[in-house]
Amino acid sequence: MQAFETYLLKIAGISIDEVMLLTSELKRLSFEKGELLLKKGAICRHSFFVEKGLLRSYMLDESGKEHVIQFAPENWFIVDRSSVYFNDASESYIEAIEDTEVVLIGEDFICKANETSPAFRRFNDKLLHNHIRHMQKRINLLLGATAEVRYLRFIEMYPDLLLRVPQWMIASYLGITPESLSRVRKELAHNNFKTN
């Protein structure tokens, strides 16, 4: 059984029979490091479930500066929601940070899964609300938290990414400069060393 099927069984609480029925026609794709899954201006047709590897979504501002919106390691979903659900041209990019294997999740899968499995319907609803909750927390952090608090929240959210993601991408996600991130990391290391 592959990672997405295992995820549906263990996390979404769907029965093995429902999993086999729902996933029989799903498509899987592989992307090399640096390859784009979605470009600005394109219509996003799928959500991507990461079975192996690491993706990020980002946008470019008017001066060409990158702003990382989200990281998606194994067992995470990533999508441009306004594009996939409202057929808007994407304002962001989705890129493979590592060689990555994904499952394409289309609207047809979601509809079929909602009809087939009450457990999936509840899971999908909770997943959506959890995504909204994280976005609200992220906005609050970007508007009012110190660089140190932002960094600590990043570690809580993505505990396994510190060695997988370049520091400049983490700084971009946090909305600070790489120099500020370096300073925060040094201060935290210094304070940790003093208390031990």
- What is the per-residue pLDDT across 5-62, written as a single tens digit (0 to 9) for each? 999 999 998 999 999 999 988 999 999 999 999 999 999 999 999 999 999 999 999 9
pLDDT tens by residue, 83-96: 998 999 999 999 99
Residue 33 neighbours by CB under 8 Å, 6+ apart: 96, 97, 98, 99, 100
The total number of residues shown for the chain amounts to 196
- Cα gap 102→48, rounded to integer Å: 6
Give yes or no for residue 196 having a pLDDT over 70. no
Q: Does domain 3-144 have CATH number 2.60.120.10?
A: yes
Largest CA distance in the chain: 57
What's the CA gap between 61 and 40, in Å, rounded? 12
Burial 129-145 (b: 16+ CB within 10 A, else e): eeeeeeeeebeebeeeb
Locus of tokens 């294997």? 101
Calculate the CA 145 to chain-centre distance.
Answer: 22
Domain ranges of the chain: 3-144, 145-196
* Residue range 112-156, pLDDT digits in tens: 999 989 999 999 999 999 989 999 999 999 999 999 999 999 999
